[in-house]
Structure 1
Amino acid sequence: MKPPQIIDSTLREGAQAPGVRFTAAARRSIIAGLAQAGVDEIELGAASPLHGWLPESVKEARAIVGSRCRLALWCRCKDEDIAFAAACNPDFLSLSLPASDRHLRERLRKDRSWARQTLARSVRLALSLGIAHISVGLEDASRAELGFVIELATIAAASGAGRVRLADTVGICSPSTMRKLVRAVKDAVSLPVGVHCHNDFGMATANSIAALEAGAISLDAAVLGLGERAGCCRLEEAAGYLALVLGNRRYKPEHLPALCQTVAEAAGRSIAASHPLVGAEIFTCESGLHQHGLAVCPETYEPYAPERVGGQRSLRFGSKTGFRAVALQLEKHGLHLEEHEIRQLTRQVRASGGAFSESELLRFAAAHATAPPL
């Protein structure tokens, strides 16, 4: 089994989010940050003659990333777009085609016969124009008839595509339904399977990881989950999980906070203090039960060391603080108070209506400290 791969779509899917406009300078900074974080492939944008800046952007990106990751473009199955994509010279071209009857009929006014013919012709055209690697993205695959999804994947393989990507376009999958979809396609077609999961019900990252567990080779993600509506799989969550839980050494979680900050500033977004892996307060603890556990063994209430993502543990002492947590902190810093003094200190902290920092707690306690026994 090859290790799973992350395909970043911040500069394509993320750029489609309302109000997001990446400048050329921001794009370069994001590309550098993605390569530093270890992503396998960067989707640089949608290939279209309307995006005349793309050829130069691909050149700039190649100079930035070198051989560290592949460069890809997303593309409709339109001849003029495919020709433009070929002129940009990407490593991968991701052709997109609807798989559901709803999209074919209602949006495009087409039928399944058109989809079959268009897919085969588009893959062959892209290959004939010198694009070495073709991925076929089946839009709305999660709402499509499974037999037709498999039929399109089979056509993609027969036409020379090297990967099929299943899109949960409106985020309706659960981890179990995503596993079933991936396994069904994987069992029927020899192509490697990837997924593109949206976050409409908050399950994009979970569904993406479930797809890998079912045998998918890649997942799409975007920094901060930027994308249409509720966005898509968050790159920081997927890369963090693969690195910190599954031990994948390609991904560098220590670079995720800086990357997320770069994207947040470029997109005009804020990062919540509780945002997984990169939030400013995810290692801040106030409750007594958790403080006690952290004091005796950090692994009891931390899934990974804060330093792995450039963070630092911070304790606050307030209305949720217990006697044992205060006692352990005082002992840790060599302050020796009688039990009744510690209990009094704890009551004062709990009644303060605010929260003491660790240094404030120690300064208060130092005024009541007794000399340690000789």
Structure 2
Amino acid sequence: MDRTRKLIAEAFEDIADGIETGSFKKRLRIGLTIYGSEHGVEEMIKAAQLAKNKYGDFDVVLIGPDVNCGFETVEVQDAEEGHKKMIDLLDKRKIDGCVTQHFDFPIGVSTVGMLVAPGSGKNMVLSTTTGTMSTNRVEGMVKNSIAGIAAAKSVGIDNPSVGILNVDGARGTLRALKELQSKGYKINFAQSLRKNGEVLMRGNDLLSGTPDVMVCDSLTGNILIKIFSAYTTGGDYETLGYGYGPGIGENYDKLVNIVSRASGAPLICEALKYCAVCAENDVLKVAKSEFQRARNAGLEEILNRERPSESGEIKIPPKEVVTYAIPGIDILELDSACRALWKDGIYSESGMGCTGPVILVNSEKGSQAVEVLKKAGYK
């Protein structure tokens, strides 16, 4: 009864605010799954309370045990059920976005994080931090660039500067992006603070936050976001920045922001705000528009040069629900591992979780799929 009264009171407050300002803008509802943290359910509730006290311009909906803590709660029994309920709530538009941990995105979707550069205190978008846009390194980093631009625009940077971290594939990525730029896709390249002033960024640029968007592969980004989130605490408690960010893909339609199981309440509080800003400015719609502009400028033709040609046709088995994750496959072998399963009549998809690449198959065929992959030399 107390919770019902509280919700009614908040609704009347929103109406009063709307009358006063002349605007009846919808109040955003951001979900937070509270099972799965290494710091316990209490830490997640603390994060929700921090966000409410610090911002107060969106509502947090908890997904987890009913702990009677003053927040609307959707009750589930464990983390796995929490993810299923999260997707259901997003599909039914009962929440506008959700912050969660350890979620497996399909290939083609990767998360765009945001950190605080220690040398300047500047926010810098890190694209990307989990998931993967493609199993081809250069293709993935080119698409990461587009996703990073979309995320930056969604947090209010109209013409974000883009730098490419000098890792494997960086020069191929730069070559592809410059061609895309020459054909009409707008990219504002950053210049390194080092004397050579290249677009390719160094470690110094990470520390200073030189570009608005720092592009890298997701495995490197995952390491970086962990370091920048927890370098003041010894690593087991992440406090700084905004988390691993929203999963962005060309046609992905669910706003899911990732934090780590090591993330603490201060960081999760900011991740909730990041998610709310992304929801308010419809980051997924912005991303779709950015990818379309890139395609109009010849993205597919440019990327085709980076893709290895496949010889021989393998018939893909009928599509099935795939919920069984098989880890331990190298990211560069995901496509060929899927093909090995298709050849054996097992439908599979490649994916990327927070701990690395996975092959997804139907739960009833999990053991069979593992054996096929072992025989093929993948396990």
Q: TM-score scaled by structure 1?
A: 0.24
Higher relative contact order (CA 8 A, sep 6+): 2
Higher fraction of strand: 2
